[in-house]
Amino acid sequence: MKLELSVQQKNAKAEFRAFVNQEICPDAGEWDRKEFTPPELINKIAQRGFLGAILPQEYGGQGMDMITYGILNEEIGRGCSSVRSLLTVHNMVAHALCKWGNKSQKQYWLPKFASAETIAAFALSEPNVGSDAKSVETTATLAGDVYVLDGQKKWITYGQIADVFLVFAKCEGKPTAFLVEKNSPGLLIKPISGMLGVRASMLAELYFHDCRIPQDNLVGRLGFGFSYVASSALDYGRYSVAWGSVGIAQACLEACIEYTSQRKQFGVYLKEHQLIRQMMTEMIANVKAARLLCYQAGYLKEIGDPSSIIETSIAKYLASTTATKVVNDAVQIHGANGCTSEYSVARYLRDAKIMEIIEGSTQIQQITIADYGYQEYMSQPTPAVITQNILARM
């Protein structure tokens, strides 16, 4: 089997790379220090159609194939993981609504998501709930023709600027999904700052106190919140993070190639030292391996193969752990310079650690992948059963 990008995909990659080099790379460090993403950049991303990348063209989206969408995430992640995370959460909500929203919700919201007239954010995590996402404590109660939400959400990416949130709450004891607009009465948004990495992603806490939303803002049905709505969104989130992790690793590789070709020690360039060449060899091989797993996951998503879910988890696991390993070596190669804000590898180090936590931690992926291995190689159930077991775990 020959794995090769189409001409269209190669052209898209070149376009994405040029955009990132011109519009993102020069200022990513400054945005990280200020913990802020400028609206001018978001407008440029929107004008390119990147925020409507996976939406069907009938709603004004790009209708990108999954490989091209993955490449987009790699390239933007190479420039700035925070900006890439905007694509992640916005498209997670867009995908969830496209799959589980009713006709009127799709007709109203999806064109706004595609044009980025409306920015969407994903609100699942809570102060006491992270990996155990089914145990959300936020509640929703039907009162007449409105739902009343009470509770708190935390670590909401781009929550400071989002116009609408996909919020998960217990309703009649069942995890359920709702659309909540930022100006809803009873919703308070509080910025979060001082994070280790992905600092420009404008995190927020959401406080719901007697927050009333229209009954029509229910997404799917009662009890659909986690197993259906959240799981489908998180699968796309993991795919984006996997490719973004490859982007971080690729950025480190490129930074090290440049640095070792310019800096001399003991009378020769660093790239001439055998131990440096060993580290570079491992970087190159690991980046390529992670990217190949992402290609595999993307291909399976594109053809609708149910095994794409576990392959995405495998890609996310390897890509995120690879990014951490590669960036550790990159900082080591840069020495003291790599510990300063003058060199981007310091930012990559902080961002890479976040990739091992978000959209399913490394440990959650290990549990999921090991379960899959035992199911596949011992009991050999059908792909549909494997998929159901994975979703139950996640």
Phi, psi of 135 (to 5 degrees): -100, 35
Between CA 51 and CA 48 the distance in angstroms is 8
With CA atoms as reference, report the closest residue to 284 among 256, 312, 303: 256
pLDDT tens sequence across 173-214: 999 999 999 999 999 999 999 999 999 999 999 999 999 999
C-alpha of 254 from chain center: 22
For residue 334 the two structure tokens come to 């840069």
Q: Burial-class residue 5 by CB neighbours within 10 Å (0-12, 13-18, 19+).
A: middle
Query: Residue 244's closest CA among 298, 302, 319, 181?
Result: 319
Confidence of residue 389 (pLDDT cuts 50, 70, 90): low
| Catalytic-labelled residue, pool 40, 126, 359, 376 | 359
**Which pLDDT score is estimated for 243?**
98
CB 101 within 8 Å of CB 113: no
d(CA 141, CA 178): 12
Query: Average pLDDT, stretch 273-298?
Result: 97
Tokens 């001399």 belong to which residue?
264
Q: Which domains does the chain have, with CATH numbers?
A: 7-117 (1.10.540.10), 121-224 (2.40.110.10), 226-393 (1.20.140.10)
Tens digits of residue pLDDT in 67-122: 999 999 999 999 999 999 999 999 999 999 999 999 999 999 999 999 999 999 99
Strands 120-123 and 164-171, bridge-based pairing: parallel
Residue 117 catalytic?
Answer: no
Q: In the beta sheet, which residues pair with residue 305?
A: none
Residue in this structure with the two tokens 């269209």, named with its chain if needed: 8
pTM of the model: 0.93
Q: Specify the pLDDT at position 73.
A: 98
